[in-house]
Amino acid sequence: MSEATTTTMTMAAAINAGLRAAMERDPKVLLMGEDIGALGGVFRVTDGLHKDFGGDRVIDTPLAESGIVGTAIGLGMRGYRSVVEIQFEGFIFPAYNQITTQLAKMHYRSQGNITLPVVIRVPYAGGIGAIEHHSESPEALFAHTPGLRIFTPATPQDAYDGIQQAIASPDPVMFFEPKARYWDKGEVNTGAVASRLSDAAATLGISGARVAREGTDVTLVAYGPTVRLALQSAELAAQSGTSVEVIDLRSISPLDSDTVVKSAKKTGRVVVTHEAVTTYGVAAEVSARVTEQAFFHLHAPVLRVGGFHTPYPGAVFEHEYLPNIDRVLDAVDRVMTH
Amino acid sequence: MTCPDTHQSNGIGRSYAREAHVDTIGPLSEEGLVRLLDYKGARHDDVQFSPYAAHLTPDYLRSFWRDMTVLRAWDMEAMSLQRQGELGLWVQSYGQEAAQIGSGHALRAPDFVFPSYREHGVALTRGVDLPSILRIFRGLEHGSWVPDEHGFHLYTLVIGAHALHATGYAMGMDRDGLVASGNADNDGAVVCYFGDGATSQGDIAEAMTFASVNNAPVVFFCQNNQFAISESPTRQSNVPLADRAKGMGIPSVRVDGNDVVASHAVTQWALEHARSGNGPVFVEALTYRMGAHTTSDDPTRYRTREDEEYWAQRDPIARLTVYLEGIGELSDQFRDEVEAEAKALGVRTRETVRSWGKPQVMDMFEHVYSQPHASVDADRAWFDRFQKSFVDTEVQGS
């Protein structure tokens, strides 16, 4: 697309449009997954693509996650860019071996002779009243593995740009899609990303954090599904006189320490919120980096607001289990009064 | 091409099974094994597979003999280097020379191999310089050759994981028009090597499923060397391993993996089947791991001397020696040449291994990603400063 156009669309539609643009741009881009063909995926993210690109490029695979990722690796060795859909994050574990021992390490093992531009799309996180294995947040398990890049959009714009940059990136990218945000609408400029798809530009595009709201008293770090929560919390905090700066990490690996630390030095107070289990989670990494790099600017310990150390509970409890406005504002109050 | 019935004995296999190995239904059964050269050095005919060995002139067979002999000598050299502390670990191909050299020589340039980690013989047939393999076992790096230069992927240590890569690669070859192209010389296929233990892995089952439904040109080549470290194939399966393919609709064949002629012929058939667009094939080569699993293993804890002696009589090289001698095609001069070649390779291997210094320590940060990544960059920068904070930095090789 040569001209920038702005459209309002949902995150699901933005990913769909991004996939379409990538497939039109490069015939080596393949979509692979369960029910992504005629059905269009259980979330309809691939809706219409099977019809327009055919079953050779939008491939309904056997029901075997390890097989999907493993064959995507082999196809990658022949120059194909597979975009794999894992139907729900809770079903990614049969592929965990392929992702962590093979996909993540092939470039290293081959001393750079093999690049695997595989994208793994993972609908994740909760809040949709689902049954077991359909609401979890396993991103830290992958962030702990060198060789993977991990991106999670919080807005339709980031979803649209990010999926195309993830596909263009020569490295493997895990693209975590906050499923509760699929139907949130936003403005999407569909023209700008086309000029940012070189290896370097695409990689850079999915590597950094953004300041989603400026503030001066507390830095509230979020990503994916909790960015909207953080913005809502900041709005409420502002009404009671606390200025909260919201940072949307966007990239989990690499983690953009500079943006977080810069904000931490300004505010001196940091709260991190994510849906994933708090213990050993992304917030722990953010906390460690802030402590290492902004220790003397801090007025309070870094606090974490996340999932409890329990399996994801039945949906009846999920609004207590997940970070919510009350729990985030409680943490904001605690760092303010420390 | 029809699928040979693996339960239908060709009348040859059974007569060689000693009592302890008579196992009419299990994975150690010799039922249905294709065998064209028996352990006494006698040739046999097989209606289906003899035509695939028709081109094996004495010259050709001598080249097999040479490769098998050089491979074994080199394997022993690597073993010695490990015992001398030059290698951290060694994984012998000892005993599997026929399965590897025979099948490897059925491959052509357009074909691509996904080995496990014991396929040194196949590496030899693909032109990989054998000493370079030892870089992995000296701990210098995890992969030592450029796969595309040899049509030979890096070793995969996670059992069975590469079968999916092989299948995906084969699907890619098919997409790229390298199968049933109309010019048979240009057609290619993928061969994936794995062992008996691997057949229990889910990835092998998934690879066969994906290969089957996609009609992918991949030959699953299972070397049943009778040991998954210490476990017998009877702990993996109640039926011959080749039978696993049946449920996937994949033709399978069992071959005497210590018979280089049959191993070659069957692989030739399998490759032609795959290259010409007929989809995947499963080959089970029944062989015997004459050495240990690795240099860290102790086979005396789980197998008998008697068992080893039984299989020593079925040595893959010895039977070819007997055959070639019997037809007057293994001259002393040729044997001397091969011996000299093996010795020279041994010397070169020793010298090469000992000449490898420690790589630059900063190399460990290279190639984690193809593009910059802040975590790697930060760790590299920190470690570099840390290293340079010592006065004897140069001695450390940084």
Residue B16 pLDDT: 37
Whether residues A196 and A292 share a domain: the answer is no
Whether residues A180 and A270 share a domain: the answer is no
Asked if the structure places residue A97 within a domain, the reply is yes
Tokens (6 digits) for B248:
């996937």
Residue B396 pLDDT: 52
Rounded Cα distance, B32 and B14, in Å: 8
Shortest distance between the Cα of A68 and any Cα of chain B, in A, equals 8
Helix count (H) and strand count (E) of chain A?
A: 13, 14
| Contact indicator for B14, B28 with CB cutoff of 8 Å | no
Asked if the structure places residue A237 within a domain, the reply is yes
Whether residues A168 and A217 share a domain: the answer is no
Closest CA to B79 of B93, B68, B67: B93
Pairing between β-strand B281-286 and β-strand B252-256 as defined by DSSP bridges: parallel
pLDDT of B397 strictly over 70: no
**Residue A325 sits in a domain of what CATH number?**
3.40.50.920
Asked if the structure places residue A98 within a domain, the reply is yes
> Given the structure tokens 């439904």, which residue do they identify?
B213
pLDDT tens-place string over residues B249-292: 999 999 999 999 999 999 999 999 999 999 999 999 999 999 99
The share of chain A scoring above pLDDT 70, in percent, equals 99
The CA radius of gyration of chain B, in Å to the nearest whole number, is 22
- In A59-118, the residues whose Cβ lies within 8 Å of chain B are 61-62, 64, 66-67, 69-80, 94, 97-98, 101-102, 105, 107-115
Shortest distance between the Cα of B165 and any Cα of chain A, in A, equals 4
Q: Which letter does DSSP use for residue B278 in this model?
A: I
Residue B395 pLDDT: 55
pLDDT tens-place string over residues B2-42: 333 333 333 333 333 334 444 557 888 888 899 999 999 99
Pairing between β-strand B190-195 and β-strand A303-307 as defined by DSSP bridges: unpaired
Asked if the structure places residue A1 within a domain, the reply is no
Please give the full DSSP string across A154-216, using - where no structure is assigned.
SSHHHHHHHHHHHHH-SS-EEEEEEGGGTT-EEEEESSGGGGS-SHHHHHHHTT--EEEE--S
Whether residues A256 and A223 share a domain: the answer is yes
pLDDT of A3 strictly over 70: no
First to last CA, chain B: 59
Q: Crossing angle of helices A156-168/A11-25, nearest 10°?
A: 30
pLDDT tens-place string over residues A208-236: 999 999 999 999 999 999 999 999 999 99
Asked if the structure places residue A123 within a domain, the reply is yes
- The answer to whether the CB atoms of A75 and B163 lie below 8 A apart is no
Whether residues A258 and A221 share a domain: the answer is yes
Q: Mean pLDDT over all residues of chain B?
A: 93
Give how far Cα A189 sits from Cα of A1, A10, A179, B210, B364, Å.
11, 13, 22, 39, 41
Grouping H, G, I as helix, E, B as strand and the rest as coil, residue A255 is coil
Residue B30 pLDDT: 86
Asked if the structure places residue A311 within a domain, the reply is yes
B210 to chain A, any CB pair closer than 8 A? The answer is yes
Q: Which helix (H) or strand (E) holds B318?
A: helix B316-326
The count of C-alpha atoms lying within 13 angstroms of the C-alpha of B320, restricted to the half-sphere facing its C-beta, is 29
Higher-confidence position of B12 and B176: B176
Confidence of residue B393 (pLDDT cuts 50, 70, 90): low
Residues 6+ apart with CB under 8 A from A320: none
Whether residues A39 and A152 share a domain: the answer is yes
pLDDT tens-place string over residues A54-76: 999 999 999 999 999 999 999 99
Whether residues A178 and A270 share a domain: the answer is no
Residue B164 pLDDT: 98
Number of domains comprising chain A: 2
Rounded Cα distance, B99 and B221, in Å: 9
Rounded Cα distance, B54 and B185, in Å: 19
pLDDT of B235 strictly over 60: yes
Q: Which letter does DSSP use for residue B376 in this model?
A: H
Identify the domain boundary among A182, A205, A228.
A205
Domain that holds residue A143: 6-205
Identify the domain boundary among A176, A205, A234.
A205
Asked if the structure places residue A86 within a domain, the reply is yes
Whether residues A179 and A239 share a domain: the answer is no
Identify the domain boundary among A205, A233, A257.
A205
**Residue A132 sits in a domain of what CATH number?**
3.40.50.970
Q: Is A266 exposed, middle or buried (0-12, 13-18, 19+ CB in 10 A)?
A: middle
pLDDT of A2 strictly over 60: no
Tokens (6 digits) for B311:
């299989």
pLDDT tens-place string over residues B77-115: 999 999 999 999 999 999 999 999 999 999 999 999 999
Grouping H, G, I as helix, E, B as strand and the rest as coil, residue B314 is coil
Taking the CA atoms of A270, A271, A277 and A282 in sequence, report the sign of the dihedral they define: negative
Please give the full DSSP string across B155-187, using - where no structure is assigned.
P--STTHHHHHHHHHHHHHHHTT-SS-S-TTT-
Where are the extended beta strands (E) located within A34-184?
A: 58-60, 81-85, 119-124, 149-151, 173-178
Q: Tell me what the mean pLDDT of segment B174-185 comes to.
A: 95
Whether residues A43 and A184 share a domain: the answer is yes
Q: Tell me what the mean pLDDT of segment B128-157 comes to.
A: 97
| Contact indicator for B191, B149 with CB cutoff of 8 Å | no
Residue B18 pLDDT: 39
- In A272-331, the residues whose Cβ lies within 8 Å of chain B are none
Whether residues A244 and A179 share a domain: the answer is no
Confidence of residue B214 (pLDDT cuts 50, 70, 90): very high
Shortest distance between the Cα of B267 and any Cα of chain A, in A, equals 22
The share of chain A scoring above pLDDT 90, in percent, equals 99
Amino acid at residue number B361: V
- The answer to whether the CB atoms of A74 and B168 lie below 8 A apart is yes
Q: Which helix (H) or strand (E) holds A245?
A: strand A244-248
Cα A248 to chain centroid, rounded: 10
pLDDT of B190 strictly over 70: yes
Looking at the DSSP bridge assignments, the partners of residue B253 are: B283
Asked if the structure places residue A81 within a domain, the reply is yes
- The answer to whether the CB atoms of B209 and A67 lie below 8 A apart is yes
| Contact indicator for A66, A97 with CB cutoff of 8 Å | yes
Whether residues A104 and A166 share a domain: the answer is yes
pLDDT of B299 strictly over 90: yes
Residue B31 pLDDT: 83
- The answer to whether the CB atoms of A98 and B375 lie below 8 A apart is no
Residue of B118, B244, B264, B289 marked catalytic: B289
Whether residues A111 and A229 share a domain: the answer is no
